[in-house]
């Protein structure tokens, strides 16, 4: 009898401890079913290209970006790429990875985001340590800004050298892609179609440089804002249009007040959905 009382007490205490746990995030698959981190890693290891959609100011997403890279690196060779680096800063990034310039030198030579030191430097330094390539995939912002003001036609007037920092012209564009339609709706019709064309210039360019530097036998991990790849849209659309035979996976980040189950509106946004507690403190 004493034995069963002890077993009951242990079970009760364990249940109470579990109930008191408050996880910062829960991982779901596209169907809204919980999935373990280890299972996700095993599945990602079978892919060619992984698009990791983040909230730029979310610490959980940034932590998982590095964790996923380290764990995938245990079984696969990696290539990295990121929206946060513009294509014309590739040489500066290469110089840093090769030890030719310091972190301070990179900060001076490249247009780094304000949260680079806390959120992206750990991944870049991991790539440097392991001698993995890291690709600056984004169109320089001055050209995206040009598109937002004057449309794609404005890019035709640029010198040949400048055109090397973007997807080949003319860029494919489908105004009816759900992400671009949603963007117009969010702006309430303000800004016109050129705003979505500017977004498309980023998506097309990131996809272009991902495929340019993809190495068969390696996993290319690309970091970008969730909007650029969620709902299998944006970058994903351009990638599959050009290389449909490759194996892709998408990860996205969402925020909910209650993370015990995934809201219907967040299902299907990606193959793997990081559901973060809405009370999580933002990094900026």
For the chain, domain boundaries: 27-266
pLDDT score at 20:
57
**Pairwise CA distance, residues 152 & 62, whole Å:** 33
- How far, in Å, are 126, 225, 251 from residue 240 at the CA level? 28, 19, 16
Please write the tens of the pLDDT for every residue from 142-169: 999 999 999 999 999 999 999 999 999 9
Report, as an integer, the average pLDDT of 222-242. 97
**Pairwise CA distance, residues 168 & 179, whole Å:** 22
Instruction: Give the strands of the sheet with 248-256, arranged side by side.
Output: 25-29, 272-277, 248-256, 49-54, 218-225, 77-86, 134-138
Q: Which CATH number describes the domain made up of 27-266?
A: 3.40.50.11550
Report, as an integer, the average pLDDT of 228-246. 97
**Pairwise CA distance, residues 222 & 219, whole Å:** 10
Please state the pTM of the whole predicted model. 0.91
Which residues, other chains included, contact 120 with Cβ-Cβ below 8 Å and sequence gap of 6+? 62, 82, 84, 112, 113, 223
DSSP codes of every residue in 120-154: IHHHHHHHHHHT--EEEEEPPHHHHHHHHHH-GGG
Please write the tens of the pLDDT for every residue from 163-217: 999 999 999 999 999 999 989 888 776 667 899 999 999 999 999 999 999 999 9
């Amino acid at each position: 009898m004493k034995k069963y009382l002890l077993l009951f007490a242990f079970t009760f205490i364990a249940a109470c401890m579990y109930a008191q746990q408050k996880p910062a995030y829960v991982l779901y698959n596209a169907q809204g079913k919980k999935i373990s981190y280890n299972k996700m890693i095993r599945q990602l290891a079978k892919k060619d290209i992984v698009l990791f959609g983040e909230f730029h100011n979310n610490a959980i997403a940034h932590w998982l970006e590095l964790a996923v890279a380290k764990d995938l690196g245990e079984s696969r060779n990696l290539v990295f790429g990121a929206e946060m680096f513009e294509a014309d800063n590739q040489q500066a990034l290469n110089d840093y990875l090769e030890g030719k310039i310091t972190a301070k030198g990179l900060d001076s030579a490249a247009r780094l985001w304000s949260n680079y030191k806390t959120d992206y430097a750990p991944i870049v330094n991991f790539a440097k340590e392991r001698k993995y390539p890291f690709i600056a995939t984004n169109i320089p912002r001055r050209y995206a800004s040009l598109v937002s003001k004057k449309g794609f036609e404005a890019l035709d007037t640029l010198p040949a050298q400048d055109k090397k920092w973007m997807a080949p012209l003319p860029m494919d564009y489908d105004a009816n892609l759900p992400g671009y339609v949603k963007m117009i709706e969010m702006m309430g019709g303000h800004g016109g179609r050129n705003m979505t064309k500017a977004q498309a210039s980023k998506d097309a360019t990131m996809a272009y440089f991902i495929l340019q530097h993809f190495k068969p036998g390696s996993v290319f991990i690309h970091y970008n804002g969730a909007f650029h790849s969620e709902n299998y849209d944006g970058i994903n659309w351009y990638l599959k249009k050009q290389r449909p035979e490759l194996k892709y996976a998408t990860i996205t980040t969402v925020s909910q007040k209650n993370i015990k189950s995934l809201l219907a509106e967040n299902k299907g946004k990606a193959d793997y959905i990081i559901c973060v507690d809405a009370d999580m403190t933002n990094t900026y």
